[in-house]
Amino acid sequence: MNLHNAKKTALPIMNLVKMQGVPILDQLHLEERLLRSDFKNWCILNVGTPQPTIVMGVSGKPSELVNIKSVIYNQVPVIRRFTGGGTVIVDKETIFVTLICSREAVPLLNLYPQPIMSWTGTLYHDALSDFGKFHLRENDYVFNNLKFGGNAQSITKNRWIHHTSFLWDYDVKNMDYLKHPPRSPKYRLERSHEEFLCKMKYFVPSKLIFIEKTLNSLQKHFVLRPIQADDINALNIPYAPSSRLLTKEELEKELLSTTA
């Protein structure tokens, strides 16, 4: 649908940025800039991040969430992001989909966690129900009772962000860097990471099909306007993002605190 038709149908415009292999920290910085310093709607798609990276929520404590010794030994980056939610390990086989919206973008949507989660659940149900028994289970996207996407939100007065890391594929060994979190959804039932998670590639024919289906579902709510990632820098949106890489010294200090 073109912009002329958008005005006729009154669907809001959403800028669409497609990226390939952008490091997850750079993606998070971009997202926070757009959430806090811009007023437009955005969809950010990034297929893969170059190296396995642990990403914790805003209040995440490495001592509770991460096997710090092996993370330090293997030099796995650990990031604390600006949104809430749990801890994930992402890599080149992770597909990231982020929605950044203004208050009016989705009619009648109350800007609280559960309504936003439910709305995204219908979006992804539309995209994925052909490929398996898709559910929004507590706050996770699952096929049957196997989680394939971790998501998180941040809500400001007039805007919200909901971002998801979809596990297209993953190295089971990397899950050993993550501890069983102190807070888990009830449906997890004490299952290990391997028993709790599934790989999207066993359900969806290709990454391209997943992306196309997701964008088709989004187009029921928005007119998508492609934007090149380079053009965002030209928008000159200054902001100092808070997502950051934890230093080795910080991780060592956390490790000492658990052994003291």
Partner 1 sequence: MTDLTALSYTSEHEWIALDGDVATVGITDFAAEKLGDVVFVDLPAAGSAVTAGDVCGEIESTKSVGELYAPLDGTVVEVNDAVVDDPSLVNADPFGDGWLVKIRLDGDLPADLLDRAAYEDLTA
Asked whether position 158 contacts partner 1 by CB under 8 A, the answer is no
| Contact call for residue 232 and partner 1 (CB under 8 A) | no
Measure CA of the first residue to CA of the last residue in the chain; give whole Å: 61
In this chain, which of 51, 70, 110, 258 binds partner 1, going by CB under 8 A?
A: 110
Rounded Cα distance between 209 and 111, Å, is 30
Residue entry with tokens 């971002």: 163
Nearer to partner 1, 80 or 213 (CB): 80
155 near partner 1, judged by CB under 8 A: yes
Among 84, 187, 191, 244, binds partner 1 (CB under 8 A): 84
Q: Please give the Cα distance from 108 to 139 (Å, whole number).
A: 21
The residue (of 123 and 152) whose beta carbon lies closer to partner 1 is 152
Amino acid at 136: L
Does 59 help bind partner 1 (rule: CB under 8 A)? yes
Stretch (H or E) spanning 208: helix 207-218
What are the C-alpha distances in Å from 72 to residues 57, 98, 253, 260?
19, 29, 12, 18
Q: Which stretch binds partner 1 (CB under 8 A): 22-30, 125-133, 147-155, 245-253?
A: 147-155
- Between residues 57 and 132, which has the closer beta carbon with respect to partner 1? 57
Which stretches within 16-144 are classed as H helix?
24-37, 62-65, 68-73, 113-128
Q: Does 94 bind partner 1 (CB under 8 A)?
A: no
Residue 57 lies near partner 1 (rule: CB under 8 A): yes
Per CB under 8 A, contacts with partner 1 among 182-221 are 183
Nearer to partner 1, 91 or 140 (CB): 140
Q: Which is nearer to partner 1, 39 or 73 (CB)?
A: 39
**From candidates 27, 46, 94, 154, binder to partner 1 by CB under 8 A:** 154
The reply to whether 166 sits near partner 1 by the rule CB under 8 A is no
Q: Which is nearer to partner 1, 58 or 175 (CB)?
A: 58
3-state helix, strand, coil in the chain (%, to 5): 35, 25, 35
Nearest-CA neighbor of 150 among 101, 105, 185? 185
CA-to-CA dists, residue 24 to 223, 247, 254, angstroms: 26, 16, 23
83 binds partner 1 (CB under 8 A): yes
Residue selected from 53, 153, 165, 243 as contacting partner 1 according to rule CB under 8 A? 153
Tokens 């028993």 locate to 195
> Does residue 41 belong to the site contacting partner 1 (CB under 8 A)?
no
Whole-angstrom distance, CA of residue 209 vs CA of residue 195: 26
Asked whether position 102 contacts partner 1 by CB under 8 A, the answer is no
Q: Which residue has the tokens 């982020």?
A: 98
